A and B are shown apart, each in its own frame.
Chain A
Amino acid sequence: MISARGVRKSFGAATVLDGIDLDVHGGEVVSILGSSGSGKSTLIRCMNGLEKLDGGRITIDDFDVSRQKELTEARKRSATVFQLFNLYPHMTAVQNVALAPVEVLKTPRKQAEAEARALLDSVGLSARADAFPSQLSGGQRQRVGICRALAMKPRYLLLDEITSALDPEMTADVLGILAKLAREGTTMVFVTHEIEFARTISSRIVFLDKGQLVVDLPTAEFFAADGGLAMPRIAQFLSKMRKD
């Protein structure tokens, strides 16, 4: 379980996360919605230990990410896919995917690379396994990014707007892979602007506004006229997103 309690984070005078409480249980897909600047990325970066909390606590399977020793364990259980891929440019797709298993999980290199190839194969990249990131399209790069995360056999996937740098066709590719992972029961925290897609794969929807968690509802209730939509702030956000 990923558990956030009273999480606070400020950058200088600006409070970006203002007391967030959130639980993500095994097997759930929790989508985080909210307008630009509401703190979604910051919340993900607090979960994977890239930002220090100013208050509150985040645990991943009871490992506190604020404690250096426990962070290592927490990071072994969760894996992040990044908006801008963040691949290692000097390594091929296979090497990108196999690096952390070899270095962190101490998997023998041969085995790690074989597993990397199998993963790349599963997302339709077997022919591009030995290409460098600069030789891949955006959608292909993001598929490598997903494989890199899956190679760690994480219990939790943290996904921050992983399709926002892709064109619609590539977006469909990548979302297709996520839908498959969701069906297989992968636990995901999914930050997105793809409202309709979130609706189809999520167990719950969380709405952030100005650093506060405004609602946390099962998906059907969130989109129900007497549920989330009854809240003006959410209705306004959804209608704006659908117009874009």
Chain B
Amino acid sequence: MRYTAFTSYDIVLLAQGLGVSLALFLATTIIGLFIGSVWAVIRFYRVPVLTQLVTALAELLKNSPVLVQLFLVFFGLPAFAKFNVTPVEAAVITLSGNTAAFVFVIAVSAIESIGRDQIEAARVFGLSRWQILRRIIAPQAMAFAIGPLTGLLVNQLQVTSLISVIGVVDLTKMGNILNLRTLKPFIVWAIVGALYYVMAKLIAFAGAVLEKRLRAHTAWKGL
């Protein structure tokens, strides 16, 4: 392979990689938030069997390496279930599941942090379990969870870089390609690292703004 110096087109390549990483991050975050919240609601209602199932699944997902999960989905699923997955599909499935597991844990502890006495009051006044979840628990749990969730998402952004190993051309993979072509690892990886850093800071900033708004909205001093 012939190696060459940087060209202005490399900026487009990096932007492409960045776009792929961001898209994957956003998609898996939305799916993960949704699934993790649904699991937490299942647990809140103590649905028999399902509760044990989602709790065990979350335990498995958060206590095994994401890379192993990724291999399991990408190589294992086709071999086991004759079910072919593209690298992007495997990445979406794995990262969504992983995010969901941690969202579940955060949501469960946020729900449990809400004082029992106000929930008893709501029950006595005849509110249904769903009304209590929606009107009493969710708004307070949200304010409680936003900090840990921001931390989680900053971390999940970094985790997306793992998908480069199964051939998804994300920011890390693009860095790899540029590195092999230019043989300037210090410059390439410094730029790639800086791009992740800026994205992480943006997520943290958005989280902080949201947290401030959630708490200011209630003028409520918290837990």
Spell out A's residues near B (CB within 8 Å).
48-50, 72, 75-76, 79-80, 82, 84, 86-90, 99-100, 103-104, 132, 134-135, 148, 152
Contact = CB atoms under 8 A, between A and B. Distances in A.
Contact of B118 (A79, A88, A100, A134): A88
* Nearest 7 interchain pairs by C-beta: A100-B125, A86-B121, A104-B126, A75-B126, A86-B117, A90-B218, A48-B124
Residue from B123, B126, B219, B220 whose CB has the most chain A CB atoms within 10 Å: B126
Contacts of B123: 49-50
13 contacts: A48-B124, A50-B120, A50-B123, A76-B126, A82-B117, A82-B121, A86-B118, A88-B118, A89-B140, A90-B220, A132-B220, A134-B221, A148-B125
B131 A103 contact: yes
A99 B136 CA distance: 10
Contacts of B122: 88, 99-100
Contacts of A79: 124-125
Nearest to A145: B121
Interface of B: 115, 117-118, 120-127, 131, 135-136, 139-140, 143, 218-221
A93 to B, nearest CB: 12
Given A104-B131, A132-B220, A134-B221, 7 more contacts: A49-B123, A75-B126, A82-B117, A90-B143, A99-B127, A132-B218, A152-B126
A86 B220 contact: no
Nearest to A87: B118
A132 B117 CA distance: 17
Contacts of A99: 122, 125, 127, 135
Contacts of A103: 127, 131, 135
Contacts of A84: 117
A157 to B, nearest CB: 12
A134 to B, nearest CB: 5
Contacts of A90: 139-140, 143, 218, 220
A88 B126 contact: no
A72 B131 CA distance: 14
A48 B143 CA distance: 30
Contact of A152 (B115, B125, B131, B139): B125
Contacts of A80: 121, 124
Given A75-B125, A104-B126, A86 B120 contact: yes
Contacts of A104: 125-127, 131
A50 B125 contact: no
Given A103-B131, A132-B219, A135-B219, A89 B118 contact: yes
- The winner among B122, B125, B140 for most chain A CB atoms within 10 A is B125
A88 B114 CA distance: 10
